[in-house]
Amino acid sequence: MKTFTNYAQGTRGIRTKTGMVWLDPGQSEKIDTDDIVGEVPDLGKKADAEREDGPDAGEFNALQQKVADLTKQVETLTGENKALTKDKADLTKQVETLTKPAK
């Protein structure tokens, strides 16, 4: 028995006498090497999986910053909307007072 670990980014399959053994990224499986049919696919290297800044790390950081910026914009607009709603209520009250017939 040998332990195979998929360090690649996508799912990989190892063909055995009993069928395919699918390994998701990071998944390990013990397989008897005598049962393997054909070649074992490229499962990547452990060092590649342990890198902190993978190929999409820069894009991920940019997206996190964009989410933070958009969240701040939503908070600002929500605060402005509350102020406008209060102003609208005050103006409506003033209009009602001015248009109310005198007694």
Model confidence band, residue 102 (pLDDT cutoffs 50, 70, 90) = low
Taking the whole predicted model, whether its pTM rises above 0.75 is answered as: no
pLDDT tens-digit series, residues 7-48: 888 899 999 999 999 999 889 999 998 989 988 888 888 876
List, in sequence order, every residue forming a beta bridge with 3; answer none if it has no partner.
30
- Residue 6 predicted with pLDDT over 70: yes
Q: Which two tokens stand for residue 62?
A: 């940019």
- In b/e form, how buried is each residue of 86-101, taking b as 16+ CB within 10 angstroms? eeeeeeeeeeeeeeee
- Residue 103 predicted with pLDDT over 80: no
Considering 46-50, 58-62, 64-68, 91-95, the range whose residues carry the highest mean pLDDT is: 64-68
Give the C-alpha separation, 46 to 5, whole Å. Answer: 9
Q: Which two tokens stand for residue 79?
A: 């605060």
Contact of 39 with 22, CB cutoff 8 Å? no
Give the C-alpha separation, 23 to 29, whole Å. Answer: 7
Spatial CB neighbours of 42, under 8 Å, sequence gap ≥ 6: 8, 12
Q: What is the mean pLDDT of residues 82-97?
A: 80
Contact of 7 with 48, CB cutoff 8 Å? yes
